[in-house]
Structure 1
């Protein structure tokens, strides 16, 4: 994986691969214990969910786009979208690509001048950008497996309980950010 200030050029790869699971945003909520925002991603083909804890500002950027709230001036993710468009680039997909030391990593896949460019990103930023581009969000299958295994450990039994609770939430439970 490239460092946060580098991009990598690839051959075209717009759709998700077999190693990726397409997800949608199920909702945005607050962790009842830590009061930290959680983006809840849900597999489009099953009930599997992946909670990703994010920062307050990133959650706000996601919420603004989920609610289609206009702001008087461009917010950071709007600026990134405008910048990409101004450079004739397009975001094709985002992928939550790795889970390492309880930290998720993501990659933004863009097309520019016929070449595919990948950018390392925080998942919250990648998701906020994906919403603005209306492009798919994927999670690497290995990330889903690793998050299940991490949740299955004795010291993180609360994570597995949280996962089961998230999978069983109804629309009213998700609050105002439900999709």
Structure 2
């Protein structure tokens, strides 16, 4: 598997680096100094920029940092660094999910409350009580996935307002006057001779979810490309392309929520039937 790595840099640091370079010790110090002058914080400066647990919000709203973007050709690694022999869309480590019409997630004294678009509130508890969660009563915009393996577990992913609204608009088939970035990605993919095949929520690193978008060459399904994306973007693209959204079973069962009242019936749309935080949590 070949990997293209290209660091995404803030505007104040971009002139110092070329797209394919890696940051050395002396250059990294210069970048950090320039970032401090611009009011930013770099990884390693004592602030990781990622909130604790999946429903928290960053403690510094306007901090910035650079993160490499990975593009994998051929078989995907699925987040573990070791590419499998063949890409399998029905991998045993993943469970199919559907997108619910959820608006926000809020922590309460005895669990969590998911507010639905129709005004209903779903009271939930952790599926795995041994997984420690920080308590934050502030409502957060959320994209909620429902596991389709019979467990009915819900996986809320904290996002910012824009991707949440864009997904709700797609769920309700609301026409937006101007093309969104998700429509542009879909059209560009088709123009390059590829088709979106699958989206997977692959892993959780430092309490932030990671996902991969899989593309297949039109006329040759064995030729695939996969990209690392924020789950909010990957899910929006997957829903518009009417492809499955899968979740790593370990993530679903360790971080999922169980609905205790009322039951989430008739409020979701199956993904295969149809900004700004740095990472989604």
* Alignment correspondent of 1:127: 235
Question: 60-69 vs 87-96, which deviates more?
Answer: 60-69
Q: Does 1:86 align with 2:191?
A: yes
Secondary structure of the structure 2 residue equivalent to 1:164: strand
In 2, Cα distance between equivalents of 1:20 and 1:90: 21
* Alignment correspondent of 2:258: 164
Contact 1:2 1:120 in 2 (8 A): no
* Alignment correspondent of 1:28: 102
2:169 pairs with one of 64, 77, 99: 64
Secondary structure of the structure 2 residue equivalent to 1:73: coil
In 2, Cα distance between equivalents of 1:40 and 1:167: 16
Higher normalized helix content (fraction of residues): 1
Number of residue equivalences: 161
Q: Give a deviation string over 1:128-161, Cα, whole Å, max 9, x none.
A: 000110000000112224425xxxxxxxxxxxxx
Q: Does 1:16 align with 2:78?
A: no
Contact 1:99 1:146 in 2 (8 A): no
Q: From the superposition, tell whether residues 62 and 23 of structure 1 become closer, same or farther in structure 2 (CA, over 3 Å).
A: same
State the TM-score, normalizing by the size of structure 1. Answer: 0.79
Q: Does 1:7 align with 2:115?
A: no
Q: From the superposition, tell whether residues 110 and 166 of structure 1 become closer, same or farther in structure 2 (CA, over 3 Å).
A: farther
Instruction: Choose 1 or 2 for highest CA Rg.
Output: 2
Q: From the superposition, tell whether residues 145 and 43 of structure 1 become closer, same or farther in structure 2 (CA, over 3 Å).
A: closer
**CA positional deviation for 1:22:** 0.5
State the TM-score, normalizing by the size of structure 2. Answer: 0.52
**Residues 143-158 of structure 1 aligned to structure 2 (within 5 Å):** 143-147=251-255
Q: From the superposition, tell whether residues 146 and 164 of structure 1 become closer, same or farther in structure 2 (CA, over 3 Å).
A: closer
Unaligned runs of 5+ in 2: 6-67, 76-85, 107-136, 270-281
**CA positional deviation for 1:15:** 1.7
Secondary structure of the structure 2 residue equivalent to 1:34: coil
Unaligned runs of 5+ in 1: 149-162
User: Highest relative contact order (Cα 8 Å, sep 6+), 1 or 2?
Assistant: 1
* Alignment correspondent of 1:141: 249
Secondary structure of the structure 2 residue equivalent to 1:81: helix
In 1, Cα distance between equivalents of 2:71 and 2:96: 23
1:116 pairs with one of 221, 224, 227: 224
Q: From the superposition, tell whether residues 57 and 112 of structure 1 become closer, same or farther in structure 2 (CA, over 3 Å).
A: same
Q: From the superposition, tell whether residues 38 and 2 of structure 1 become closer, same or farther in structure 2 (CA, over 3 Å).
A: farther
Q: Give a deviation string over 1:113-136, Cα, whole Å, max 9, x none.
A: 531100000111010000110000
Q: From the superposition, tell whether residues 5 and 37 of structure 1 become closer, same or farther in structure 2 (CA, over 3 Å).
A: same
Report the RMSD for the aligned CA atoms in angstroms.
2.4
**CA positional deviation for 1:2:** 7.5
Q: From the superposition, tell whether residues 167 and 108 of structure 1 become closer, same or farther in structure 2 (CA, over 3 Å).
A: farther
